[in-house]
Amino acid sequence: MKQCLILLTIGYPFGPGDMYLENELPFLAGKFDKILIFAQDMGRGVEAAWPVPDGADAYNISTKSKKAGRLGDISRGFFRSFFRTERYTEDKKYVGRSSAKRLFLEYFEARSTRHFKETARLLERYDLSGFDRVVIYSYWFFATARTGVFLKEHLRHHNVSFISRGHRYDIYDYANRLSYLPERDFLFEHVDRLYACSIDGQRYLCEKFPRWRDKVDCAYLGTRDRGLSPIKNDGIFRIVSCSRAAPVKRVDRIARALALLRDSGLKLSWVHIGDGKELPKIKRLAAEQLGFMDVEFKGRLSNADVFGYYLNNPVGVFVNVSNSEGLPVSIMEASSLGIPSVAADVGGTRELLSDGVSGFLLGRDFSDRELADAIERMARLPADEYEVFRRQARLNWERNFRAEVNYARFAEVIS
């Protein structure tokens, strides 16, 4: 049977947002005769940053700058919010009397409509009649999924299936500042299968939308085996964090916690990988309070360079204290290298590490003192006990998060 996959992304392979597809795409290419990738949310003229396999074509669909496109979507959404649209009627029980939610809904619809039109225009270059089956795959259960519904209707004369992944902001409505995600029932009605990236996400969706629970499954992401991070007993305990410097990531809390270890007698080093709007503030905080230890901000690195750092430096612990997570791939990557973690117990994090076995879990609303104590506890572990933590971190990754296993299984299922 000849099959075509239409993959809807935020930015891949042109920009960040869904860069983990780099590991997944080769397995999809092994199961589909043709892959068409449409990056939905990049600015006009942005060139590809990652290569794609043979048999795959990738398009940046944008005909405008990102800012101009969004402003147009907001304007159209604002105009539509004065009318009783079909989507508003279906979502009224969630929108209530909130004008902000109403505007968000209509903006969401306007944005998805624009993306669909641009995608459909590019899709006209291909004759899909030669394929026995077409699979539409949205990497997110948000605007790309709404575009997927449009495409499913557009290609209704073909044998079409529509699936989506779900991660964090696109499935946990509390992660949205309005505690509202548009068109949930509508999207569920039209998707054939939704794959949450964690068991926690699957459970959340099934409990919140019991009507659609038979459409929800879990499909873990995965990372490649790069080997183990070295152990070097030079007396310095190295702490690493890797994320955007955004409010949800709470990187400033790491700096505040480390400041409490000033008089611990430990020789400490902290490296943060990643950029973001809050980075200048965090740098100032570190300069003011962490003068007793080595601190380095590496900025944004490629995935290859991140692993290069881990493989050439003895990392003692990985720290992730986000307020909200889906299934943090940063912890998954650290675990694959045998690096224990200290993390906030949010989303699917506890599926990646076991408290007191492969790392330490903190409550969502942890104190700076609790984070500092967890880091200090890890730093003071005897060598034999610390080695057990390393082995357990690696073992959980081997059992559950190998890219070769998870992506091969997923590609087989959707094909």
Q: What is the DSSP string of 214-244?
A: GGEEE----B----------SSEEEEEEES-
Q: pLDDT confidence of 19, banded at 50, 70, 90?
A: confident
Q: What is the mean pLDDT of the chain?
A: 95
How large is the average pLDDT for residues 36-61? 92
pLDDT at residue 50 greater than cutoff 80:
yes
Please state whether the peptide bond connecting residue 247 to the residue before it is cis, i.e. omega within 30 degrees of 0. no
Query: What are residue 57's phi and psi, to 5 degrees?
Result: -115, 135
What is d(CA 23, CA 28) in angstroms, rounded to the nearest whole number? 10
pLDDT at residue 16 greater than cutoff 90:
no
pLDDT at residue 87 greater than cutoff 90:
no
Q: What is the DSSP string of 364-401?
A: TT--HHHHHHHHHHHHTS-HHHHHHHHHHHHHHHHHH-
Residues 6+ away with beta carbon under 8 Å from 401: 220, 221, 222, 223, 332, 335, 336, 352
311-345 residue pLDDT tens: 999 999 999 999 999 999 999 999 999 999 999 99
What is d(CA 251, CA 168) in angstroms, rounded to the nearest whole number? 18
Residue type, 363: G
208-220 residue pLDDT tens: 999 999 999 999 9
How large is the average pLDDT for residues 340-357? 96
Identify the pLDDT of residue 190: 97
Identify the pLDDT of residue 302: 85
Strand order in the sheet with 267-273: 294-299, 267-273, 236-242, 317-320, 341-344, 359-362
What is d(CA 6, CA 27) in angstroms, rounded to the nearest whole number? 15
Three-class DSSP labels, 149-196: HHHHHHCCCCCEEEEEEECCCCCCHHHCCCCCCCCHHHHHHHCCEEEE
pLDDT at residue 15 greater than cutoff 90:
no
How large is the average pLDDT for residues 224-234? 88
Are 164 and 313 contacting, i.e. CB atoms less than 8 angstroms apart? Answer: no
DSSP 137: E
Length, in residues, of the chain: 415
Beta strands 56-60; 34-39: pairing state: parallel
pLDDT at residue 233 greater than cutoff 80:
no
What is d(CA 63, CA 337) in angstroms, rounded to the nearest whole number? 42
- Percentage with pLDDT > 70 across the chain: 100
pLDDT at residue 98 greater than cutoff 80:
yes
Give the least confident one: 141-150, 229-238, 275-284, 313-322: 229-238
Beta strands 160-166; 193-196: pairing state: parallel
Identify the pLDDT of residue 135: 98
Which token pair is 287?
Answer: 């300069």
Query: What are residue 148's phi and psi, to 5 degrees?
Result: -60, -35
Residues 6+ away with beta carbon under 8 Å from 276: 243, 244, 245, 246, 249
Neighbour count for residue 228 (Cβ, 10 Å): 15
pLDDT at residue 199 greater than cutoff 80:
yes
pTM: 0.93
Give the least confident one: 3-7, 191-195, 298-302, 372-376: 298-302
